[in-house]
Structure 1
Amino acid sequence: MNTRITLAVGALALALAGCVTVPQPLAGQYTPITPREAVDRDSAGAPVRWGGRIVDVEPQTNRTCFQMISTHLDESGRPYWASDDVGGRFIACRTGFYDPAVFEKNREVTFVGHIDGYENRRIGAYDYRVPRVSADVVYLWPVRDYVDVVERPAPWPWWGWW
C-alpha cells in the first residue's frame, strides 16, 4: 500500500514538473557561468542566458544597453530571488530602441546572447568590472502579482475535516 502511494506521488510530481516550459526564445544550451565568474575567468565569446533586475536602461544611437543585477534563473528561465545571493552585475546590449518607460528599474528580464567584452563601471566610489553581453533575445517578464496570505486558526473542535 505504501509503495503505491509513493509511486502515485512520484508520478504526480513528474507530471507537474513536465508542465514547466522554457519560452521558445530562451531555449538552448548555454555556458553555466555567472557574471561574477565571467569576470574572474575571461569568458569572452561564451554563449549565456542571464537574467535579473534592471538597474538602468541606456538608449544609445543604434542600440539600447541594460545595466543589470544578476540572479539565478528558474526552470522556465525567469529570474528568482530566493535570497540576497546575486551573481554580480552585467551589461546587455541589443540593437534598436527599448523604451525606459517600459523597461523600468527593477523589472525582470532574461537575455540570451554571448559575452562580447568587459566594461569598467563606477558604482558609487567603487570601480566595478562587468561583462557585456551582445543580446540576441531580450525577454521582459510580466510583473509578478504578490498576494498576502493571512492564516486564520481553525475553530476548535474542527469537525468535518475528513
Structure 2
Amino acid sequence: MLLMLFFLSGCTSSIPTAVRANNVSTTQIKQVQAAPRGYLNVMIRWGGEIITVQNKTHDTWLELLAYPLDSSGYPNNKSTSEGRFMAQITGFVDPAIYTPGRMVTILGLVESTITRQVGEFPYQYPLVAAKSHYLWPERSVISDPWYDPWYSPWQTPFYDPWNPYWDPYYPYTRHYPWL
C-alpha cells in the first residue's frame, strides 16, 4: 500500500492550483498575432515577466514579456521571449507587489488584440481576460560560491611550502605587485 502511494505521488501536477485547468490550448502568441479572430475565447496559460501595471476603474492591465512555461508553470526567463501580451485582471492589483521584473502565470481567454506603441513601433498585443493568475515568489540569488569544508589547498601534489611563488589557487592566480 505504501509503495503504491509512493508511485501515485509522482502523478500529481506541480502547476499551482490557481492556474491549473484541463482544457488549456498550446497556442503561441505569434499565432494569435497572425490570426486573432481564429483564437477568440480560446483558453490559454501564458506567463512572463511584468513590464508595466496599469490600474483602471474596474480592472488592472498587466503588460507582460512572455516566456515559455516549464513543467511547473513557471516562466522560463532563461530562454528567448515569445513576445508581449496584455492580461486584464478584474479588480485592483497592487503595483507595489506586482512590480516590474516579477514573474506571473495567467490562465484566461484570448479576448482580442490591441495595438500600442513600444517605443515608436506599433505592436499588436494579444489581450487575455484572466480567469486566474499566480504571482510567483521572488527567487533569491545565492551569491556565495560553493565551498568544500573538507578541501585543503595544501593537499595537492604540487604543494611546496617553501616556494614563495606557489599559489594554492593556481587557475585563479593572484597578481603579486612586487613582481
1:90 aligned counterpart, secondary structure: strand
Distance in 2 separating the partners of 1:82 and 1:151 = 22
Structure 2 unmatched runs, 5+ = 1-6, 158-179
Q: C-alpha root-mean-square deviation of aligned residues, in Å? A: 2.4
Q: What TM-score do you get using the length of structure 1 for normalisation?
A: 0.79
1:64-118 deviation per Cα after TM superposition (whole angstroms, max 9, x unaligned)? 01010000111111111222x1111000001100011111111101110000001
- 1:68 corresponds in structure 2 to 64
- 1:134 corresponds in structure 2 to 129
2:76 counterpart of 1:80: yes
- 2:119 corresponds in structure 1 to 124
Number of residue pairs the alignment of both structures matches = 144
Structure 1 unmatched runs, 5+ = 1-13
8 A Cα contact 1:107 1:143, kept in partner: yes
| 1:107-118 equivalent positions in 2, closer than 5 A | 107-118=102-113
Distance in 1 separating the partners of 2:10 and 2:65 = 28
8 A Cα contact 1:34 1:88, kept in partner: no
Higher CA-based Rg: 2
1:150 aligned counterpart, secondary structure: coil
- Cα deviation for residue 152 of structure 1 reads 5.5
- 2:31 corresponds in structure 1 to 37
1:93 aligned counterpart, secondary structure: strand
- Cα deviation for residue 151 of structure 1 reads 4.2
8 A Cα contact 1:62 1:97, kept in partner: yes
- 1:23 corresponds in structure 2 to 16
- 1:53 aligned residue (49, 52, 55): 49
- 1:97 aligned residue (92, 106, 114): 92
- 2:139 corresponds in structure 1 to 144
